[in-house]
């Protein structure tokens, strides 16, 4: 922001006499120096120690990471099955996503009594919609916009103010008269009318003072009987330039612009808060999307498990008259109905996950009150991700909104400490004024005399004030210093929390990637167990109840391993999203750009999310 002062024109000064021009010019120069602004006198020590303490607390958290700056890549789990590629392809056709991808969930009727409709949605579209429409982000945008008005209000204190005053005074009163040699001198009645008009400009200066330029005009009409004045009526004009400037307490731009700097910091903190909310919404959207995928795949797994159980139950039913006892058949029926109940619960979970995603999106096309079920279209990312602790920590310290807000808090406390330090000084105020006067029987004569600058009043004054003991100011300074020290501790605590979150997210990425391989091996092993059983079923003529019971148990084991595999995939993708969120890079990853607006303009987030299949 730049502040400007309307100067006193050279044309006006040229109309004055040399001596008077020098006097007025000196006063104007003093005002001009005050407008430029200067730092508070007797300022305390710099913030070098404070800055050094913050830097040391950051470097302390990165010592080990700087010693080992290399990248790590999750190590794959050793494959102990030694299956051929052909066998793995055969098992993937029997189990895993390829085996149940095309199964349509049997939703039945919704809460409105209609057949359930489904709508496909990609991750890119989900993130873009959430960024544009999420209600929490709309609130955060409004909060950030409110802080912009605070900046304008703080800066407006230094705007020029135009003022005008008009008054009329009619006097009609008895008065004392003087008696000289038993003769009354003067009039015993004081009767007159006065019209007065003042106008001008005043401005608060960044130096702490105030400059005022005032033009006044007075029309005095004497109506007292027996008393004459000259001129009558009298036209009185005056032009005053006045400067009131504190020299100690309240002096300097460090004090006067404190509220402006605090308002700017508040705006930056609000923007960082908005960025944090954006990161949170993007991360929650990804998590909600992958949890929806998990619920969807679980429904498909349980649905296929139910179909396999029904087929096995029907085989037992057909052998009731031969070698299957009613108790064995009832056991198979119980398992099938248990799977049917599990499918009902899985469908309910899928609907709930769909509604949770709708809440995050706030998309008018997918209202929360609607009964359409969102189905995910994208598959989870499952390639290894190279990560570096040093790079992640450096990115986090540069990009995490919480870190930036903690730094702004330190700056706020330093500003308040400077103001409190200045408040301990005694009050010593300088007042300067120069007034040009004009008088005439007409308005034109009055202003002509004013322009000649032959009648000039000067005023200079100093006022001093100091509370005895100065306890309130000293207590305020101690409070401000303690708050500054507290802000440093808050920064250190925030830095430690950020480091802990980054490390935890990195561990989750590494762990969940290994779990993908581990659960996939377990699923292939379970599929192999079921495959061998199916081969035996084709080659033997008599199916014993024990054999069919074993088949049901192996179906359950395969379904459990399939759920574990899809859970590990979902957890891995959520871990990646959390890692980018912990480093503050989630917006860059999704190509979302937060545009800092000009005052009065709306705050917008611009960009689009990438495809879900990207490693990002």
Q: What is the full DSSP assignment across 64-76? A: HHHHS---B-PPP
Q: Rg of the chain over CA atoms, in angstroms? A: 42
Cβ-Cβ contacts under 8 Å for 554 (sequence gap 6 or more): 526, 529, 530, 533
CATH architecture of the domain with range 54-152+260-410+481-607: Up-down Bundle (1.20)
Per-residue confidence (pLDDT) for residue 29, from 0 to 100? 35
Let me know: does 1 contact 260? Beta carbons within 8 Å: yes
Q: For residue 598, what pLDDT is reported?
A: 57
Alpha carbon 510 to chain centroid, angstroms: 31
Domains of the chain: which residue ranges? 10-53+164-176+187-256+427-480, 54-152+260-410+481-607
Confidence (pLDDT) at 542: 57
32-61 burial by CB neighbour count: b if 16+ within 10 A, else e?
eebbebeebeeeeeebeebeebbeebbeeb
Of 515, 434, 469, residue with least CA distance to 76: 515
CA 360/CA 127 separation, integer angstroms: 9
Q: Identify any residues that bridge with 336 across adjacent strands, giving them in sequence order.
A: none
Q: What is the DSSP letter of 324?
A: -
CB of 453 closer than 8 Å to CB of 22: no
d(CA 188, CA 173): 9
Residues 6+ apart with CB under 8 A from 559: 301, 302, 304, 305
CB-based contact 463:428 (threshold 8 Å): yes
32: nearest Cα among 68, 3, 54: 3
How far is the first Cα of the chain from the last one, in angstroms, to the nearest whole number?
39
Beta strand pairing call for 210-222 and 189-204 = antiparallel
Crossing angle of helices 123-133 and 135-155, rounded to 10°: 40
If the chain, 616 residues long, is cut into consecutive pieces of 10 residues, what is the mean pLDDT of each piece?
Answer: 29 35 39 41 50 72 68 63 81 85 85 88 91 82 81 89 92 75 69 90 93 92 75 89 94 91 90 90 94 95 92 84 81 92 95 94 88 92 87 91 92 93 94 93 86 91 93 94 92 92 93 91 90 80 74 91 95 95 91 67 48 40
Pairwise CA distance, residues 312 & 316, whole Å: 7
Give the Å distances, CA to CA, from 460 to 26, 27, 432. Answer: 13, 10, 5
pLDDT of 202 reads 95
3-state secondary structure of 44: coil
């Amino acid at each position: 922001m730049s502040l400007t002062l309307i100067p006193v024109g050279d044309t006006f000064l040229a109309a004055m006499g040399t001596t008077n021009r020098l006097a007025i010019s000196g006063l104007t120069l003093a005002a001009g120096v005050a407008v430029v602004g200067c730092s508070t006198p007797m300022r305390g020590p710099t913030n070098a120690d404070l800055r050094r303490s913050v830097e040391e607390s950051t470097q302390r958290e990165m010592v080990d990471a700087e010693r080992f700056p290399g990248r790590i890549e999750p190590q794959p789990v050793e494959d102990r099955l030694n299956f051929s590629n052909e066998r793995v392809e055969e098992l993937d056709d029997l189990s895993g996503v390829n085996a149940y991808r095309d199964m349509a969930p049997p939703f039945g009727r919704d809460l409105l009594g209609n057949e359930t409709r489904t709508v496909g949605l990609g991750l890119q579209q989900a993130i873009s919609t959430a960024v544009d429409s999420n209600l929490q982000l709309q609130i955060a945008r409004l909060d950030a916009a409110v802080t912009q008005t605070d900046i304008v209000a703080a800066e407006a204190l230094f705007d020029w103010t135009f003022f005008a005053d008009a008054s009329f005074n009619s006097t009609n009163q008895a008065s004392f008269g003087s008696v000289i040699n038993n003769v009354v001198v003067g009039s015993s009645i004081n009767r007159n009318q006065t019209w007065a008009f003042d106008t001008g400009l005043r401005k608060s200066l960044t130096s702490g003072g105030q400059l005022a330029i005032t033009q006044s005009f007075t029309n005095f009409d004497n109506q007292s009987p027996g008393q004459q004045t000259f001129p009558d009526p009298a036209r009185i004009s005056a032009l005053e330039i006045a400067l009131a400037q504190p020299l100690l307490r309240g002096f300097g731009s460090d004090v006067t612009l404190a509220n402006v700097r605090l308002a700017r910091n508040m705006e930056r903190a609000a923007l960082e808060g908005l960025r944090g909310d954006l990161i949170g919404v993007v991360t929650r959207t990804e998590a909600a999307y992958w949890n929806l995928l998990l619920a969807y795949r679980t429904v498909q797994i349980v649905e296929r498990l139910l179909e396999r159980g029904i087929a096995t139950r029907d085989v037992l039913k057909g052998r009731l008259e031969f070698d299957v006892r009613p108790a064995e058949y009832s056991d198979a029926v119980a398992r099938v109905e248990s799977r049917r109940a599990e499918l009902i619960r899985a469908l309910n979970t899928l609907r709930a996950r769909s509604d949770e995603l709708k809440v995050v999106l706030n998309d008018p096309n997918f209202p929360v009150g609607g009964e359409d079920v969102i189905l995910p279209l994208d598959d989870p990312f499952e390639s290894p991700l190279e990560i570096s602790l040093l790079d992640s920590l450096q990115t986090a310290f540069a990009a995490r909104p919480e870190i930036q807000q903690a730094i702004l808090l330190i700056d706020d406390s330093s500003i308040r400490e400077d103001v409190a330090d200045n408040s301990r000084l005694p009050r010593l105020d300088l007042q300067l004024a120069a007034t040009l006067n004009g008088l005439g029987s007409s308005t034109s004569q009055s202003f002509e005399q004013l322009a000649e600058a032959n009648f000039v009043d000067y005023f200079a004054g100093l006022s001093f004030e100091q509370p005895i003991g100065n306890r309130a100011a000293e207590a305020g300074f101690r409070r401000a210093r303690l708050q500054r020290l507290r802000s440093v501790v808050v920064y250190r605590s925030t830095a430690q929390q950020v480091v802990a979150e980054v490390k935890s997210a990195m561990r989750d990425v590494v762990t969940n990637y290994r779990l993908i391989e581990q659960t996939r091996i377990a699923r292939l092993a379970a599929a192999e167990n079921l495959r061998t059983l199916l081969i035996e079923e084709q080659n033997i003529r008599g199916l014993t109840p024990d054999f069919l019971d074993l088949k049901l148990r192996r179906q359950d084991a395969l379904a459990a391993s399939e759920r574990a595999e899809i859970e590990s995939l979902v957890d891995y993708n959520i871990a990646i999203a959390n890692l980018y969120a912990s480093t503050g890079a989630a917006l860059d990853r999704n190509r979302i750009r937060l545009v800092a607006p000009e005052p009065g303009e709306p705050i917008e987030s611009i960009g689009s999310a990438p495809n879900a299949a990207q490693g990002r």
